[in-house]
């Protein structure tokens, strides 16, 4: 496997040196933080009045956590650490779980953020010879513009397609020989489901890779996209509070996502006790951004559940890796007293070849109990007139789910194109309780 680096020195830096660098940058970040209305009040309550109060990287633990609600309360300018005239960019989260939160960047912040997104693209083998069709939504959302900048800095030809308009997406892919796509996994599946209608076969296209992210998806969904499109698919994780994509990205080995630890400090904590979990165990990801003067964020609780992958990656990078996200602490469903993450349901159904590319989870009240309905689209080949086949398939899906989540779901099979699709983040759960 060919391994390419954008900045070999920093990507393969010794751990000890990396941690020294983190500590230096952490102190700078604390100094910046003390310039914001928010942290100027908060940090002294924890005995931190200046960066000099920290004597080693371990002292990170003395700092308070920051939550999404803190960001909301600080809206619009409570977290800004520089004069407004220094700020060149703002972004806002997509607001999946409530009021959007905003972030700011100075020109230097933007350059550093761009650099790690370029690094991420190079880690997948992308280069200036590539044509990059960016189908993430452009706008306040970081997903589109931030990776656009990284791709441009690398020298790829960038098509700022944004999401939507299937016909135009296909036309551009063909006309410009697009080789790399950036999109949500659900949009990749959706596009594939419409290829036939547009007379397109994956083998007629020049697409080689896709970067998918912005929403949870299982390993089986990755494999499904790879198989349907005949391409390599790389997982990309980011959140707007941390400048969006480029934070964690898979390398050519596609074996979990490297977090650029010169730019972020990661911790995994138990979401209830907030204590660190033992190495390699699942918990909530907590991030400190080290390269953002305009808006420092200390120990930000992402609410995303994942774990750190122990051991080195074959690519030689020393920056540690994160496992695929298991879900968010706030998307866990409690159904008849049983805890279920939508990702567990996805894992079961997407592994089944008969199941198509779209599904929806509905939870309803059923007297004193809850009812779980799993609606899946099925592949056209399975759609026969023989109701016995369909009945057998329904039963098989229900049994597989029962074995995995200990709940008896009602399974509904639908023809392709019936369930709702979204062009941005997919909405997979409707909780009607």
Using CB under 5 A, which residues numbered 225 to 254 contact Zn ion?
A: 251
- Please provide the distance, in angstroms rounded to a whole number, between the alpha carbons at the two ends of the chain: 50
CB of 116 to ligand ADP, least distance (A): 15
CB closer to ligand ADP out of 285 and 335: 285
C-beta of 410: minimal distance to ligand ADP in Å? Answer: 27
Contact region for ligand ADP (CB under 6 A) — 19-27, 89-97, 125-133, 264-272?
89-97
Q: Strand pairing of 180-183 and 410-414?
A: unpaired
**325: contact with ligand ADP by CB under 6 A:** yes
Contact 267, 276 (CB under 8 A): yes
At closest approach, how far in Å is the CB of 237 from ligand ADP? 4
User: What are residue 345's DSSP bridge partners?
Assistant: none
Assign residue 316 a region: left if phi > 0, alpha if psi is -120 to 50, beta otherwise?
Answer: left
Residue 286 vs 378, nearer CB to ligand ADP = 286
Residue 126's binding partner out of Zn ion, ligand ADP, none, with CB under 5 to 8 Å set by partner kind? none
Q: How far is the CB of 54 from ligand ADP (least distance, A)?
A: 27
- Stretches 91-99, 130-138, 197-205, 401-409: which one binds ligand ADP (CB under 6 A)? 91-99
Site for ligand ADP in 301-320 (CB under 6 A): 302, 304
| Total residues at interface with ligand ADP (CB under 6 A) | 20
CA distances from 246 to 219, 251, 283 (A): 20, 12, 21
Q: Per-residue x/- marks for ligand ADP, 370-409, CB under 6 A? A: ----------------------------------------
Q: How far apart, in whole angstroms, are the C-alpha atoms of residue 59 and residue 52?
A: 11
Q: Does 328 bind ligand ADP (CB under 6 A)?
A: yes
Q: What backbone phi and psi angles, to 5 degrees, belong to 142?
A: -70, -25
**Residue 251, contacted partner among ligand ADP, Zn ion, none, CB below 5-8 A by kind:** Zn ion
Q: Which is nearer to ligand ADP, 323 or 421 (CB)?
A: 323
Site string for Zn ion, 303-342 (x = CB under 5 A): ----------x-x-x-------------------------
214 binds, among ligand ADP, Zn ion, none (CB under 5 to 8 A by kind): ligand ADP
HSE on the CB side for 150, CA within 13 Å? 27
Residues near ligand ADP (CB under 6 A) are: 93-97, 141, 213-216, 235-240, 302, 304, 325, 328
Which residues make up the interface to Zn ion (CB under 5 A)?
251, 313, 315, 317
């Amino acid at each position: 496997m060919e391994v390419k680096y954008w900045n070999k020195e920093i990507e393969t830096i010794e751990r000890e040196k990396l941690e020294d660098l983190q500590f230096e940058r952490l102190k700078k970040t604390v100094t910046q933080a003390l310039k914001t209305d928010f942290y100027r009040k908060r940090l002294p309550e924890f005995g931190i009045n200046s960066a000099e109060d920290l004597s080693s990287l371990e002292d990170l633990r003395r700092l308070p956590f920051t939550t999404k609600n803190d960001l909301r309360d600080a809206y619009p300018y409570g977290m800004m650490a520089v004069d407004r005239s220094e700020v060149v960019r703002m972004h806002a989260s997509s607001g999946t779980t409530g009021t959007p939160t905003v972030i700011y960047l100075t020109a230097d912040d933007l350059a550093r953020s761009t650099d790690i997104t370029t690094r991420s693209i190079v880690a997948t083998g992308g280069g200036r010879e590539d044509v990059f069709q960016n189908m993430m939504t452009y706008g306040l959302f970081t997903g589109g513009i931030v990776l656009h900048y990284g791709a441009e800095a690398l020298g790829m030809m960038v098509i700022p397609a944004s999401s939507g308009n299937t016909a135009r997406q296909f036309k551009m892919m063909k006309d410009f020989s697009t080789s790399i796509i950036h999109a949500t996994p659900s949009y990749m599946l959706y596009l594939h489901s419409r290829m036939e209608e547009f007379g397109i076969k994956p083998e007629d296209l020049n697409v080689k890779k896709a970067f998918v992210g912005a929403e949870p998806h299982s390993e089986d969904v990755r494999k499904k996209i790879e198989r349907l499109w005949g391409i390599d698919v790389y997982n990309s994780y980011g959140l707007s509070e941390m400048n969006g994509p480029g934070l964690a990205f898979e390398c050519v080995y596609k074996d979990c996502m490297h977090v650029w630890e010169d730019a972020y400090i990661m911790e995994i904590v138990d979401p209830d006790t907030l204590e660190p979990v033992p190495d390699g165990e699942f918990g909530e990801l907590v991030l400190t951004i080290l390269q953002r003067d305009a808006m420092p964020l200390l120990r930000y609780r992402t609410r995303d559940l994942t774990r750190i992958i122990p051991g080195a990656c074959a690519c030689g990078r020393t920056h540690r890796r994160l496992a695929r996200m298991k879900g968010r602490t706030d998307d866990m469903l409690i159904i008849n007293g049983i805890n279920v993450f939508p990702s567990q349901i996805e894992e079961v159904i997407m592994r089944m070849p008969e199941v198509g590319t779209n599904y929806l989870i509905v939870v309803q009240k059923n007297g004193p109990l809850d009812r779980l309905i799993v609606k899946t689209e099925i592949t056209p080949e399975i759609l026969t007139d023989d109701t016995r086949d369909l009945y057998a398939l329904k039963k098989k899906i229900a049994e597989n789910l029962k074995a995995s989540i200990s709940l008896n779901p009602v399974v509904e099979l639908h023809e392709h194109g019936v369930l709702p699709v979204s062009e941005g983040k997919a909405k997979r759960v409707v909780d009607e309780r």
